[in-house]
Amino acid sequence: MSTARVSEGIRDACQELILDDKKIGEIMTRFLKEIQLGLKKETHAKADIKCFVTYVQDLPNGKERGKFLALDLGGTNFRVLLIHLKGDDDFEMQSKIYAIPQSIMLGSGSQLFDHIAECLANFIKEHKLQDERLPLGFTFSFPLKQLGLTKGFLIRWTKGFNCEGVVDHDVVELLEEALKRRGDVQIEICAVLNDTTGTLMSCGWKNHDCRIGVIVGTGSNACYVERVENAELYDGPDNGKSHVLINTEWGAFGDNGALDFIRTEYDREMDEFSINKGKQTVEKMISGMYMGELVRLALVRFTKAGLLFGGQGSDLLFKRYQFFTKYVSEIEGDSPGSFFNCYDVLEELGIFHATDEDCANIRYICECISSRAAHLSSAGIATLINKMNEPSVTVGVDGSVYRFHPRFHDLMMEKIRTLVHDHISFDIMLSEDGSGRGAALVAAVASRDAQ
């Protein structure tokens, strides 16, 4: 059993990463103000948090039935799913993952959509569905301005994509054109959505109190149920429906400087070397794409200051993006007093001279950065819960950080409990395959409405 303690120098230097209640209160005030700017017509164009209207107005009621396709594009892989909904929580699902080569991620839009269409066609042939015309829900997890359920214009690429000829274009139209060029499959795209909407729909199918969908994975975002009269950009039919789902795109919170009062030198350096400098400020403080790199930047600073490893690092430690976010989860997953995982991680980085005290310090640094991410997510969620002011709200959450980090769920539950109004009860549920099954459910609900 190790008795190694965190050194005073590290503890003092990490204070700037800890968000006290006063700072969290200020973050919530600023976040709510930004949400309101995004919802209003006259301020929307200048707002960082865009609050895009999704045109999804009906949540699942559990009675949806039939076969639906889902296409889930949100990272270096995408999935095609065939989902057979049988009602009452009963469904069958088959899916296949397809890779997107780096050359396509950075190539032209037509290359990207031709590649997706080819994989879709192969999937349909494998499942012998060529003679059926199936409704498809398209999860497109990038900032999207929607003008209808099947009309969504890409605002900007994130997550390492940079395909030409897609920004400011309707992604549904681009996919339809790629399918038309092939001419060998019959697909009706019923809805385009992002992964937060899918997460909310997937959880809403099982829990009818679900009103918020959150992703804490490679990226971070949230959607929630808003009253139509508050969503000034809603341009759909006056169908008597009082609510609509809003895709906040909260990853851009802080792009106007609203979070500068909590940003550290690690945040600034990471942004400086990112491919979307000055964008997605809060996402860079929360999500899995950046968390490991934030830890690495802190480790480098403390090594150079002689506070870690006797001042001796390694080539890999000093190389950008070589400290993976999964390392953070592994290090924090060590049982108290043991550092097995930490030593394994350090060996992978070519550091063989670490001590137990180094490991205690590293774990503390990881805890500060992951707790900050969990508390920022909690501040956003609590603001939305308080804004909706419903007596009971379930929050559906998905994403690799939330799923695999050993403390993330507990940190969020604990913090949100202190931030929501006393008369509101809330719960957080893990979304089972939100971006896939949720997309099929949006298509199912759209088909149900059409009928």
Model pLDDT for residues 401-414, shown as the tens digit of each residue: 999 999 999 999 99
Q: Give the global pTM.
A: 0.91
Let me know how long the chain is: 451
In whole angstroms, how far apart are CA 58 and each of 31, 211, 340? 26, 12, 49
Q: Report the C-alpha gap between 205 and 207 in whole angstroms.
A: 6
- Angle at CA of residue 117, ends 191 and 167, nearest 5°: 65
Residue 85: band (very low, low, confident or very high) from pLDDT cuts 50, 70, 90: confident
Q: Of 139-153, 179-193, 232-246, 276-290, give the range with the top mean pLDDT.
A: 276-290
Q: Report the C-alpha gap between 272 and 302 in whole angstroms.
A: 20
Residue 34: band (very low, low, confident or very high) from pLDDT cuts 50, 70, 90: very high
Q: For all residues of the chain together, what is the average pLDDT?
A: 93
In whole angstroms, how far apart are CA 401 and each of 165, 328, 414? 31, 10, 17
Architecture label for domain 54-206+433-444: 2-Layer Sandwich (3.30)
pLDDT of 1 higher than 60: no
Percent of the chain scored above 70 by pLDDT? 98
pLDDT of 372 higher than 70: yes
Give pLDDT, residue 17. 98
Residue 195: band (very low, low, confident or very high) from pLDDT cuts 50, 70, 90: confident
Q: In the structure encoding, which two tokens stand for residue 365, read together?
A: 């640094």
| Number of Cβ atoms within 10 Å of the Cβ of 97 | 10
Largest CA distance in the chain: 70
pLDDT of 294 higher than 80: yes
Closest CA to 437 of 128, 79, 57, 134: 79
pLDDT of 49 higher than 60: yes
Residue 451: band (very low, low, confident or very high) from pLDDT cuts 50, 70, 90: low
pLDDT of 3 higher than 70: no
Residues in a beta bridge with 103: none
Give pLDDT, residue 450. 62
Average pLDDT over residues 365-376: 98
Q: Identify the weakest region by mean pLDDT among 2-6, 165-169, 271-275, 435-439.
A: 2-6
Give me the active site residues, please.
159, 195
Give pLDDT, residue 2. 61
3-class SS string, 358-403: HHHHHHHHHHHHHHHHHHHHHHHHHHHHHHHCCCEEEEEEECHHHH
Place of tokens 């700017």: 37
Q: In the structure encoding, which two tokens stand for residue 422, read together?
A: 């006393």
pLDDT of 35 higher than 60: yes
Give pLDDT, residue 380. 98
Give pLDDT, residue 126. 93
Residue 87: band (very low, low, confident or very high) from pLDDT cuts 50, 70, 90: confident
pLDDT of 122 higher than 80: yes
